[in-house]
Amino acid sequence: MENVPLNIIIDTHIPYIKGVLEPYVQSVRYLEPSAIDAAAMADAHCLITRTRTRVDAALLDGSPCRMVATATIGTDHIDLAYCHSHGITVANAPGCNAPAVAQYVLSSVLALANRPMAQHTIGIVGVGHVGRIVERWARALSMNVLCCDPPRAAAGDPGAWYNLDDIAARADVITFHTPLTRDGAYPTWHMCDATFVRSLRRAPIVINAARGPVADTSAMLQGLRDGHIRAAVIDTWEDEPNINRELLEHASIATPHIAGYSREGKARATAMVLNAVCHFFRLPQLLPIGAPVIPAEDLRPGAAPMPADLRQGAVRLLQDTACLRANPDNFEILRSAYDLRPEPRLAIAN
């Protein structure tokens, strides 16, 4: 096949992608996120990126870019309105790392629990790709589960839905899995604020593996000081990579935005964005990376991670916490160089 006259810029830290597009397009360049700027995009028709690159008018004005693909679940680093108004197609990788984040959550609970997991009530705020797997796995581990997702409840989705007041009153583990939104009927920016923290009745473990600004740092710190929060698990931070040192010191588990960093999740994300790029530019759909889809067993009632894998995950998270505390200025380096975890093996109940 003759090369298509396309110039593509790719974040150099996206795994499993090097060499895949080169046989089909004119030019592929791999750049550090800090080097992806307006000058680099001046002749680029496509950008394949991650959350560390802000995609907006400052980056794309005057470029011939027709597509932006992000190898991440979220798109809050992309000015979607700008892209839409300029005819730029945006693709992402929804659900790619959901099993890895669910493993992170349950391994965190195991590491910090002061009684058997079956005696805990977990409140899941945001029941999308990630929250749904957390829900299924938590039920399979005999935890009591409360699901809070106001948009889904308002849409009439089936299931028992609880509001934030219910979660605050009844849960001793609260985990957030929402997108970051500031507008609309259900904004999530600072959803975990001082008012919410003061309303907590069971001194829960609070986990933020969603987006940093979903939880107000000041409110989290005050909650830890006054005992409204027993333990904090922080993977996503406000103002990354310039994270709050006091919260780093007081969080029981503190990691550099790596909850979703599994081998399988990264492979899925790369496969999803490559498929989107190939479809959009009519390139061959032959992608030699063999990325698995999310196994159906991950969502099957009764499927749960093997206890040994959760225990191993808990040990790893405590090691990751010690590493970040020792090297807080190296947040980005620790994230980029992170040794990807395997996803947990599942035991399927009969």
Q: In what order do the strands lie in the sheet with 144-148?
A: 144-148, 121-125, 173-176, 205-208, 231-234, 253-254
User: 346-348 and 303-305: which strand pairing?
Assistant: antiparallel
pLDDT at 294: 54
260 contacts 294 by C-beta, under 8 angstroms: no
**Catalytic: which of 211, 230, 335, 341?**
211
pLDDT for position 4: 85
178 pLDDT more than 60: yes
CA distance 269 to 82: 24
Q: Does 67 have pLDDT greater than 80?
A: yes
Write down all domains in the chain, each with its CATH number in brackets: 4-92+264-281 (3.40.50.720), 98-260+305-333 (3.40.50.720)
In the block, which residue shows the tokens 């990126």?
Answer: 49
Residues counted in the chain: 350
- Name the active-site residue from 66, 77, 139, 240: 240
Is residue 226 within 8 Å of 195, Cβ to Cβ?
no
Mean pLDDT, rounded, for 102-124: 96
Mean pLDDT on 160-166: 97
- The mean pLDDT value for 32-42 works out to 97
pLDDT given for residue 290 in this prediction = 44
* pLDDT tens digits, one per residue of 260-295: 999 999 999 999 999 999 999 999 875 544 444 455
Is residue 161's pLDDT more than 80?
Answer: yes
88: number of Cβ within 10 Å: 20
| Residue 234 scores a pLDDT above 80 | yes
| Average pLDDT score over the chain | 93
Residue among 152, 228, 230, 257 flagged as catalytic: 257
Catalytic residue flag (residue 230): no
- Is 129 one of the annotated active-site residues of the chain? no
What percent of the chain stands above pLDDT 70? 94
Stronger pLDDT, 181 or 293, i.e. the higher one: 181
DSSP secondary structure string, 247-259? HHHH-SEE-SS-T
pLDDT-derived band of residue 175, with 50, 70 and 90 as boundaries?
very high
Mean pLDDT across the stretch 199-203? 98
> Which burial class, exposed, middle or buried, applies to 164 when counting CB atoms under 10 A from its CB (0-12, 13-18, 19+)?
middle
**What's the pTM value of the predicted model, to 2 decimals?**
0.88
Q: Is-catalytic flag, 32?
A: no
Residue recorded with tokens 């009764």? 302
Give the pLDDT mean for 203-219. Answer: 98
Q: Measured between alpha carbons, how far is 176 from 194 in angstroms, rounded to an integer?
A: 16
> How far is residue 241's CA from residue 330's CA, in Å, rounded to a whole number?
8
